[in-house]
Amino acid sequence: MVERLAESATEGGGKVSIVDCDIHNAVPSPESLKPYLSTRWQEHQEMIGPRYRHGFTQGDPYPRGNPNAARLDAWPPSGLPPGSDLAFMREQLLDALDIEYGILNCLDKVGEQLNEEYAAALARAVNDWQIAEWLEKEPRLRASIVVPYENADFAAAEIERVSDHPGFVQILLLVRTREPLGRRKYWRMYEAAQQYGLPVGIHFGGMGGNPITSSGWPSYYIEDHTTMSQAFQSQVISLVSEGVLERFPDLRVVMIEGGFAWLPPLMWRLDKHWKRLRDEVPHLKRLPSEYVKEHIWLTTQPMEEPTNPKHLLQVIEHLGSEEKLMFSTDYPHWDYDDPNRAFPIRLPPDLKQKIFSENAHALYRFEAGE
């Protein structure tokens, strides 16, 4: 199969409409959320404000490649932060790349807040702000429901509150959580996601209270960034092993901004050890890789750059499915993927069509009747 793909990789691909499965709309400032917070929480915001486990009032112990982790050319002329200016996003992304649909994943630090009620209030505010400032203003955009994911009851309540807005197509979690995401404490949230037919998106980032490695905290940003794929791997292991994908058979999960080349070796490893250790997890009725292939999607950014570009086609073959990869830019972040340049090799046209458009349409069903 690799040989066939390689041959057809030289065929010219026509223009494909693009669905961008990962765009970041930024809250311009805390003041922007005020209209959507009750007095009680406005006051809390003023008095205490958000608090982060790393201990800084702002910023991050691992400085990013660029300020705000953004492309330097993504700072709008208006002076607003990258990703917060819809007009500029239209100009630089939606119009420039002829994006058919874009999915907004707002990374405002909601789920990480230690005060769970504050987290729930922030989630409500961010989602109402997303509706007013993005979904109602730009028909090409869809969004993920931001939830206080460390409290599944609160998260379920928020999902229930806003899921009927047609602009919301997904639930958003950050990958670094307090416990592995398969654990029981999160199950009520998956129940709600399944009930309302919404995929659960798990995105790069978060600071949930665990060092990013099982041996503590690394020193450098390059380590922190590269190690994120191990966090994604751990979440796949957990969602499978805890039986979440057995218990919620309609649940769909999207790994966003985690890369994808790590997934085939992980599936093989899970299968291998499950054969010996399956008696420990009798709730699993099938091979782990079957659960993965049925329930888990991945976005393409940050694109894999194998030393030999042809190996990328091997990776896609090893994934065992052409229906699970979905293109994303990660606009406006610095490790952005341009749709015309991101892939190191030319894709066969049908595969290109799936990755850039069809797979996302099938998962998210942007239009009624899809």
Partner 1 sequence: MRSTDSRRESDRHLAKHIVATVDEIPPGERKIVEVAGRSIGVFNLGGEYFALRNQCPHAGGPLCEGVLSGFVQARVPGEYSYVRRGEILRCPWHAWEFDVRTGQSWFDPAKTRVRTYDVTVEPGGDESTSSNELSEAGLEWGPFTAETYSVSVNKQNVVLEL
Partner 2 sequence: MHETSGDKTFPGQAAAGIIDCDVHNNVPSIEAIYPHLPDRWRDYLIEHGVSSIEPNYYPRGAPLSARPGSRPPSGAPPGSDLGLLREQLLDPWEVQCAILNCLYGVQMLYNDDWAAAMARAVNNWQIAEWLEKDPRLRASIVVPAQSPELAAEEIDRLGRHPGFVQVLLLVRAKMPYGRRYYWPIYQEAERYGLPVGIHAGGATGDPITPVGWPSYYIEDYVSLAQAFQSQVISLVSEGVFARFPQLRVVLIEGGFTWLPSLMWRLDKNWKGVRREVPWVDRLPSEVIHEHIRLTIQPVDEPPTPEHLLQIIEQIGSEELLLFSTDYPHWHFDKREDALPTKLPSELERKILVENAQAVYQL
- Positions 41 through 80 that interact with partner 1 (CB under 8 A): 65-66, 71-73
Instruction: Decide which of partner 2, partner 1, none touches 127; Cβ closer than 5 to 8 Å per partner kind.
Output: none
Return the range that interacts with partner 1 (CB under 8 A); candidates 83-91, 105-113, 133-141, 331-339: 331-339
Q: Interface residues for partner 2 in 62-121 (CB under 8 A)?
A: 65
Pick 129 or 262: Cβ nearer partner 2: 262
Pick 160 or 220: Cβ nearer partner 2: 220
Order of strands, edge to edge, in the sheet holding 325-326? Answer: 18-23, 99-104, 141-146, 168-174, 200-203, 253-256, 296-299, 325-326
Pick 214 or 219: Cβ nearer partner 1: 219
Give yes or no for a contact between 143 and 167, defined as CB atoms under 8 angstroms apart: yes
Nearest CA among 205, 207, 209 for reference residue 228: 205
Least distance in angstroms from the C-beta of 13 to partner 1: 17
Pick 20 or 150: Cβ nearer partner 1: 20
Choosing from 265, 338, 362, 365, the residue that interacts with partner 2 (CB under 8 A) is 265
Residue 56, Cβ density class (10 Å: 0-12 exposed, 13-18 middle, ≥19 buried): exposed
In the numeric block, the tokens 């899970």 are attached to 270
Return the range that interacts with partner 2 (CB under 8 A); candidates 46-54, 123-131, 203-211, 346-354: 203-211
Least distance in angstroms from the C-beta of 224 to partner 2: 10
Choosing from 105, 127, 144, 235, the residue that interacts with partner 2 (CB under 8 A) is 235
Instruction: Decide which of partner 2, partner 1, none touches 73; Cβ closer than 5 to 8 Å per partner kind.
Output: partner 1
Return the range that interacts with partner 2 (CB under 8 A); candidates 9-17, 34-42, 113-121, 208-216: 208-216
Cis upstream peptide for 288 (omega within 30°): no
Q: Integer distance in angstroms from the first to the last C-alpha of the chain?
A: 31
Choosing from 153, 179, 294, 323, the residue that interacts with partner 2 (CB under 8 A) is 179
* Residue 195 is a binding residue for partner 1 (CB under 8 A): no
152 Cβ contact partners less than 8 Å away, ≥ 6 residues apart: 185, 186, 187, 188, 189
Cis upstream peptide for 332 (omega within 30°): yes
DSSP-derived secondary structure letter, 80 = P
Least distance in angstroms from the C-beta of 216 to partner 2: 5
Return the range that interacts with partner 1 (CB under 8 A); candidates 147-155, 200-208, 336-344, 351-359: 336-344
CA distances from 242 to 126, 181, 211, 282, 286 (A): 31, 9, 22, 10, 13
Choosing from 25, 113, 130, 177, the residue that interacts with partner 2 (CB under 8 A) is 177
Return the range that interacts with partner 2 (CB under 8 A); candidates 115-123, 133-141, 153-161, 257-265: 257-265
Residue 323, Cβ density class (10 Å: 0-12 exposed, 13-18 middle, ≥19 buried): middle
DSSP-derived secondary structure letter, 303 = P
Nearest CA among 107, 150, 152, 145 for reference residue 127: 145
Task: Name the site residues for partner 1 (rule: CB under 8 A).
Answer: 65-66, 71-73, 334-338, 340-342
